[in-house]
Amino acid sequence: MRFVADFIGALREAGLQVSPAESLDALKAIKLLGLESRQTSKTVLALTLVKRQADQVIYEELFDLYFAGVGKTKASNKELNKGSNKEADKSESESSDNPLETKNNPHSSQADMSDGEGMQTSPSSSLGQALGKNKDMSLAITQAAIDEKLSSIVLFTQKNYFAYKIMQRLGDEALSAEIRSQANSLEHKNSLEHKRKQRELVKARARLLDQVKDYVEQQYGIFAQHKGLKYREEYLQQAKLSQLDRIDYKLMQRLVQRAARKLASQHSRKRLTRKRGQLDVRKTIAANAAFDGALFHTRWKATRIERPKIVAICDVSGSVSRVARFLLLFLYSMQDVMPKVRSFIFASEMIEVTELFKQQGIELALEEIMKRWGGLSTDYGKALAGFQSQALAGIDKKTTVIMLGDARNNQGDGRTDIWEKVFRQSKRVLWLNPEQRNSWDSGDSIMSEYSPWCSSVEPCRNLKDIERIFSRLLKHS
């Protein structure tokens, strides 16, 4: 049952939602049917643990990995039991060959001077004796892995650590000491037979180490492959967008779109709840007139849904361009709840890119924007003058203006008079700054000149910040 419980844990780490009740059902089914038939076990566990078609691929992948190891263990267990029965008539000293006793007595030195397999003198360590008799170490490796909690492995860098700990648990310390001792002994130096035995022991240890590493690799694939991705995603959600490596862009885009869909879904549910509004007494009485006043049906006053009207202005110069990329991606991934979005980008010239997003799609449009206008020097004054001519007339008291920029104007005129007009004409103005607060107003930053004409000025450095800001925006829209 422990095998099945660990398998369920691996499925959960891979993202499958398995409830305690489903786990109990799976354990009861396996208790009744056993694990002898691989296909039966696979079918029964799938019926009890997999609910979505999309999870079937992950389930089959993990089942093949996991139960391949179980099959080997069961086979080696039977082999070991057969061997134990045959040796039942032998002396008690010979029965100590069981490798599982290694952890309790790693320095056992009952050498069998007439052992088979071509060796005239057996090694003194228990592990050496087991290797000398070509014992199958699969069961011992599995037991050692359980004792070392290999299922807790998270990172690929831990593979060598666990391989080392499992070898130590098997008795490698005593075996290595024995090999070193043989190499330094005078008898060994003068005897060809001792040298041959020592080489065989070294080779047997190397084969065991390879077997342990293979086992760790297999368990890593079962327990850590999806866990590692989960940790990576958690890291990226809090990583600075301005310092994000390009190789993480695709994963980050998926995280941004997932967070946006989640937020849009939450907000849609809230709207459905609020959509009922107040009880319409007149219509309710009219609807139940046929029931002598008993209220079987209720009628509610519909509430008018005002979708937020957004104007996004993004600085795409320098390091701000990376944050702008993901902010725009987040914004356009929420089209279900934010359909009225106008987007502008600027370095020195203000350019509306709303139509570009509609024509090319968000990802292709972002690539083109960053290629054509990203990384240029900034001129907030010139850009705001362009915004005034293009869009200021369309801003009204239903409009929320979101500015993303570091307010670094290269010592130029920031044209705060235009920003003041934007503030006075709009519903609210949010300024998102990708820098830390203690960097604002340092060098050529003029953040304090714009701040009085903003409803809110906030740092926006990672995905969590973007999610928090838009969650609050939707809540109060």
pLDDT at residue 63 greater than cutoff 80: yes
Rounded distance, CA 314 to CA 418, Å?
16
Rounded distance, CA 456 to CA 426, Å?
13
Digit-coded pLDDT (tens) for 359-393: 887 778 888 888 888 777 888 999 999 999 999 99
Domain boundaries, the chain: 1-69, 127-227, 271-305, 308-475
More confident call, 215 vs 85: 215
At residue 79, the pLDDT reads: 54
pLDDT at residue 395 greater than cutoff 60: yes
pLDDT at residue 412 greater than cutoff 70: yes
At residue 101, the pLDDT reads: 44
| Beta strands in 275-398, from DSSP E residues, in sequence order | 309-315, 340-346, 350-352
Query: Which pair of tokens denotes residue 292?
Result: 């002598």
Digit-coded pLDDT (tens) for 248-271: 888 888 888 888 877 777 766 555
Confidence of residue 82 (pLDDT cuts 50, 70, 90): low
- The label of the residue with tokens 């009740």 reads 21
* Burial track 333-366 (b if 16+ CB lie within 10 A, e otherwise): bbeebbeebbbbbbbbebbbbeebbeeeebeebb
At residue 325, the pLDDT reads: 83
At residue 274, the pLDDT reads: 53
Least confident of 180-194, 233-247, 275-289, 355-369: 180-194
Contact of 368 with 402, CB cutoff 8 Å: no
* Average pLDDT score over the chain: 79
pLDDT at residue 192 greater than cutoff 80: no
| Domain over 308-475 is classified CATH 3.40.50.410 | yes
Confidence of residue 289 (pLDDT cuts 50, 70, 90): confident
Sheet of 428-433, strands arranged across: 350-352, 340-346, 309-315, 399-404, 428-433, 456-459
Other C-beta atoms lying within 10 Å of the C-beta of residue 326: 21
pLDDT at residue 459 greater than cutoff 70: yes
pLDDT at residue 235 greater than cutoff 90: no
Burial of residue 4 (CB within 10 Å: 0-12, 13-18, 19+) is buried
